[in-house]
């Protein structure tokens, strides 16, 4: 069952949620434009906005000039009050915690990294799992550090968003499966509610990043776009008809587990030939070590040698790039998005991938699907944590009857 949520903003109807979301993502915006974009009547918009203004979440800006002679009184655009509430976002990586505090408009106002002893990148699901209690304690400590950065944070921060790789049930707050932590069915949100005193929203990390893009980034106003991330894992998230695709069972966008090479290496999920088993950072490093015979080769060293002209390693990167290009073509062919944003820490070596990615994508994308623009945008890990905070903002705005 869904967990209870604190009162927060006065979202007392679907109309209030719709108006608040519109101003939050597109404001400042006039009431006339809110009516036009939402289809609500002027009276409905005024009724929905009034309690949000009284509670300090929205404010009216100074009137603007009339748009035309005789057009009536000047418009007073609605805008959010960014400092009305703060949100904590935590991204859990394979060896680190990244935390941020954002304002209501998703602007990062504080950020901290917190190394956790014992964390390591888990590519083998049979590895000893991290103890949930240790991770919860580390997150709670990081939240405390962040909230102590400014007196206003502790007073006006009530929500925590946490982004984690794997199969996550956002409604119940349960991590159903996270290969990098070795977890199955961990009730992380409830544990964090108790440890931090904040209302926790848990989400898959790639979906959280997509929420940030949809509400506050490149996806604002787009009816459809796709986000693909490349790095320790390979994931994707889709926005279709303005909504994030969650999947009937909470699983969607797992492009990393689409079979690209049927006879390819075995993946940690148990299948063979998955894109993630061919082109993730660890998969690429494993192949680089096999191809060179250097067992202690690091990914940074492999990148340096490939950039210096090592043909063996350049072929390894090119092969991974072709696999990625095929995976991107799958997304374009199935969804036909307006744009396809590619991000993740794996893009640090994008110059070694680019040609083979684009060649494979162009060759495999069907017809007009190839017109989908590839937007290559490396993002620091703070942006992943911002995505977690954006999910917390979203949970504030969501109407719950």
CB burial string 180-192: b at 16+ within 10 A, e below? bbbbeebbbbebb
Is the same domain home to 131 and 201?
Answer: yes
pTM for this predicted structure:
0.83
Is the same domain home to 113 and 54?
Answer: no
- Has residue 336 been placed in a domain? yes
Is the same domain home to 242 and 308?
Answer: yes
- Provide the pairing of β-strand 96-102 with 108-115: antiparallel
What is the domain-level CATH number for residue 30?
1.10.10.10
Give the contacts of 342 (CB within 8 A, at least 6 positions apart).
Answer: 227, 228, 229, 230, 328, 374, 375, 376, 377
Last residue of a domain, one of 34, 62, 80: 80
- Has residue 100 been placed in a domain? yes
Is the same domain home to 144 and 117?
Answer: yes
Around Cβ 297, how many Cβ atoms within 10 Å?
18
Give the contacts of 339 (CB within 8 A, at least 6 positions apart).
Answer: 218, 222, 225, 226, 372, 373, 375
Tell me if 173 sits within 8 A of 190, measured CB to CB.
yes
Q: What is the pLDDT of residue 123?
A: 45
Tell me if 71 sits within 8 A of 98, measured CB to CB.
no
Q: What is the pLDDT of residue 64?
A: 66
Last residue of a domain, one of 52, 80, 108: 80
What is the domain-level CATH number for residue 103?
3.30.420.40
Q: Which domain holds residue 244?
A: 222-376
- Has residue 9 been placed in a domain? no
Is the same domain home to 63 and 169?
Answer: no
Q: How many domains does the chain have?
A: 3
Which of the residues in the chain have pLDDT under 70? 1-7, 64-74, 116-128, 250, 262, 401
Is the same domain home to 239 and 344?
Answer: yes
Q: What is the pLDDT of residue 233?
A: 84
Q: How far apart are CA 321 and CA 300, in angstroms?
A: 17
Q: What is the pLDDT of residue 67?
A: 45
Tokens of 124: 């083998």
Is the same domain home to 237 and 368?
Answer: yes
Q: Which long-range contacts (CB under 8 A, 24 or more apart) does 310-317 make?
A: 313/288, 314/352, 315/291, 316/284, 316/287, 316/288, 316/291, 317/284, 317/349, 317/352, 317/353, 317/356
Is the same domain home to 243 and 367?
Answer: yes
- Has residue 5 been placed in a domain? no
- Has residue 8 been placed in a domain? no
Tell me the chain's radius of gyration from C-alpha atoms.
23
DSSP character for 74? P
Is the same domain home to 199 and 226?
Answer: no
Is the same domain home to 73 and 107?
Answer: no
According to the 3-state scheme, what is the secondary structure of 284-332? HHHHHHHHHCCCCCCHHHHHHHHHCCCHHHHHHHHHHHHHHHHHHHHHH
- Has residue 339 been placed in a domain? yes
- Has residue 118 been placed in a domain? yes
Is the same domain home to 206 and 290?
Answer: no
Q: Rounded to the nearest 5°, which phi and psi values hold at 55?
A: -85, -5
Around Cβ 194, how many Cβ atoms within 10 Å?
11
> Residue written as tokens 């966008």?
253
- Has residue 57 been placed in a domain? yes
In the structure, how many helices (H) and strands (E) does the chain have? 13, 15
Is the same domain home to 230 and 359?
Answer: yes
Alpha helices in 10-72 (DSSP H): 14-26, 31-38, 42-54
């Amino acid at each position: 069952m869904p967990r209870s949520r604190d009162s927060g903003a006065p979202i007392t109807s679907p109309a209030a949620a719709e108006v608040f979301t519109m101003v939050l993502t597109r404001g400042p915006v006039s009431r006339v434009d809110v009516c036009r974009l939402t289809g609500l009547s002027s009276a409905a918009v005024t009724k929905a906005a009034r309690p949000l203004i009284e509670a300090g979440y929205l404010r009216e800006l100074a009137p603007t000039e009339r748009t035309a002679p005789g057009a009536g009184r000047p418009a007073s655009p609605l805008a959010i009050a960014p400092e009305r509430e703060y949100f904590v976002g935590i991204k859990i990586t394979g060896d680190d915690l990244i935390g941020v505090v954002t304002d209501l408009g998703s602007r990062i106002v504080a950020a901290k990294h917190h190394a956790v002893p014992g964390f390591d990148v888990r590519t083998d699901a049979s590895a000893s799992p991290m103890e949930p209690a240790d991770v919860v304690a580390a997150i709670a400590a990081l939240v405390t550090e962040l909230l102590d950065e400014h007196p206003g944070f502790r007073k006006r921060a009530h929500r925590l968003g946490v982004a984690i790789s794997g199969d996550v049930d956002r409604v119940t707050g349960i991590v159903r499966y996270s290969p990098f932590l070795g977890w199955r069915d961990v009730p992380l949100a409830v544990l964090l509610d108790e440890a931090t005193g904040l209302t926790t929203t848990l989400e898959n990390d790639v979906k959280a990043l997509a929420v940030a893009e949809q509400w506050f980034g490149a996806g604002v106003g787009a009816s459809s776009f796709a986000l693909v991330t490349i790095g320790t894992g390979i994931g994707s998230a889709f926005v279709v008809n303005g909504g994030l695709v969650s999947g009937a069972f909470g699983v969607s966008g797992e492009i990393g587990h689409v079979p690209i090479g049927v006879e390819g290496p075995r993946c940690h999920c148990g299948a063979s030939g998955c894109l993630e088993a061919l082109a993730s950072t660890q998969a690429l490093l494993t192949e680089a070590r096999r191809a060179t015979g250097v067992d202690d080769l690091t990914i940074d060293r492999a990148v340096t040698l490939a950039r210096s002209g090592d043909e063996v390693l350049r072929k390894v990167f090119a092969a991974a790039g072709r696999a990625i290009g095929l995976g991107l073509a799958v997304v374009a062919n199935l969804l036909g998005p307006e744009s396809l944003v590619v991000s993740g820490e794996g893009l640090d070596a994008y110059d070694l991938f680019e040609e083979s990615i684009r060649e494979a994508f162009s060759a495999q994308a069907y017809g007009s699907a190839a017109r989908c623009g590839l937007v290559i945008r490396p993002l620091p890990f703070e942006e992943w944590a911002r995505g977690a905070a954006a999910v917390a903002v979203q949970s504030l705005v969501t109407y719950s009857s």
